[in-house]
Structure 1
Amino acid sequence: MRGHAAVRAFFGARAATWDTKFPDDTPAYEAGVAQLDLRAGESAVDVGCGTGRALPALRAAVGPDGTVIGTDLTPQMLRTAAEAGRNVCALLVEADAARLPLASATQDALFAAGLVHHLADPAAGLREFARVTRAGGRLALFHPIGRAALAARRGHSLSPDDIRAEPHLRPLLAANGWELTSYEDTAARYLAIAVRTTD
């Protein structure tokens, strides 16, 4: 499921009930955002924000003088985010994660939940994330449960070529402007933190 039409169809059909299907994920999102070590006044983007569950935590972290943007490819997800009031804490923008409508080297941090394996070209996506992030800026690749737990939920086993696995992810990040600084893949969560390297 990597083409834009397929992604929009899949998530668009689920947008209205997404939060009620996963009602207990908010603390995990808050804890994931906390690992970005955001400071007041900084700028943060939730790429593939879906219904915007990370946006309140991002806003709390950067404060009223900071900037928070949520981007998603699926308009229904953004509509659900707005209906939940999350447009109050962030600017919501319909955008392709591989072509972000942001100037280069302008963002302090990017948060991406359950996104990287949905990208048609993950390497190109990570390069785009690097393009919009300042040197030394942070990237969090997140999911509220780990890969094994997610695979079990879907009734299948882990794929040996999963790009989210640390041996695959580390060199993929390194080749596209990032240094992996921490990696966690447990039942409780998946969280990979990377820092934007200097070109």
Structure 2
Amino acid sequence: MNDDHTHVQEFFGARAAAWDAKFPDDGPAFAAAVADLGLRHGDTVLDAGCGTGRALPPLREAVGRWGTVVGADLTPQMLRAAVDAGRGGSGSLLLTDVGRLPLRTACLDAVFGAGLISHLPDPSENLRELARVVRPGGRLALFHPIGRVALAARQGRQVTDGDLRAERNLRPLLEGSGWHLVSYADEDARFLALAVRGDV
């Protein structure tokens, strides 16, 4: 395991048990973002970096009982917290690196990633891996329950020019990784970038 993975596991592992209590009001924002992903009954969707699984119940509801929901995370404590919160029944949980997924090529209809992009060790390669497992025309949602400025303020820092979530940075990053950005919202109440998998 590389140093980036170890850092992510240490950061989230130490916070897993209290994560949901720290952000108790995010549920409606997750549900709204899942709705915007445009899933249909019977679809197969991955929650990449699923954490405590807050997106899993709305993803399950969106794809119905015949759909497939997979939650993948690098941190065992986060997956345990998802089970403890009763979300394990909404999907299959995988302890894995989203940059090297044990999934077949083009097996998914969509990927949902909450707070994901800022924790990817190699964003271009990792987004390319997500594109690999999604069928052409499938969708990607990069989400955060608050926007970039609000998040920076919460963390006591300034938004920087190098922020990967800025549209001017995110659009070429996605385009170079097999995705086409189709909508972008960066508001105090949420961040949501939706992309479609190109035919690469």
Counterparts of 2:189 and 2:117, CA distance in 1:
19
Specify the alignment match of 2:6 in structure 1. Answer: 5
Specify the alignment match of 1:164 in structure 2. Answer: 165
Specify the alignment match of 2:48 in structure 1. Answer: 47
Identity percentage of aligned residues: 61
Matches within 5 A, 1:8-23: 8-23=9-24
Alpha-carbon RMSD across the aligned residues, in angstroms, is 0.7
Aligned-partner SS, 1:138: strand
Specify the alignment match of 1:29 in structure 2. Answer: 30
Counterparts of 1:161 and 1:20, CA distance in 2:
31
Deviation per residue, 1:151-194 (Å, 9 max, x gap)? 00010100111111000100110011000000000001000000
Counterparts of 2:155 and 2:176, CA distance in 1:
31
Unaligned segments of structure 1, at least 5 residues: none
Counterparts of 1:76 and 1:132, CA distance in 2:
25
Matches within 5 A, 1:6-155: 6-155=7-156
Give the counterpart letter for 1:77 in structure 2.
M
Give the counterpart letter for 1:61 in structure 2.
A
Give the counterpart letter for 1:93 in structure 2.
L
- The count of residues paired between Structure 1 and Structure 2 equals 198
> TM-score under structure 2 normalisation?
0.98
Matched, 1:198 2:199: yes
Counterparts of 2:179 and 2:149, CA distance in 1:
25
Counterparts of 2:72 and 2:140, CA distance in 1:
15
Instruction: Report the alpha carbon displacement of residue 97 of structure 1 after superposing the two structures with TM.
Output: 1.1
Counterparts of 1:195 and 1:28, CA distance in 2:
21
Instruction: Report the alpha carbon displacement of residue 85 of structure 1 after superposing the two structures with TM.
Output: 1.2
Counterparts of 2:54 and 2:193, CA distance in 1:
18
Runs of 4 or more, structure 1, over 6 Å off, are: none
Counterparts of 1:17 and 1:101, CA distance in 2:
29
Instruction: Report the alpha carbon displacement of residue 10 of structure 1 after superposing the two structures with TM.
Output: 0.6
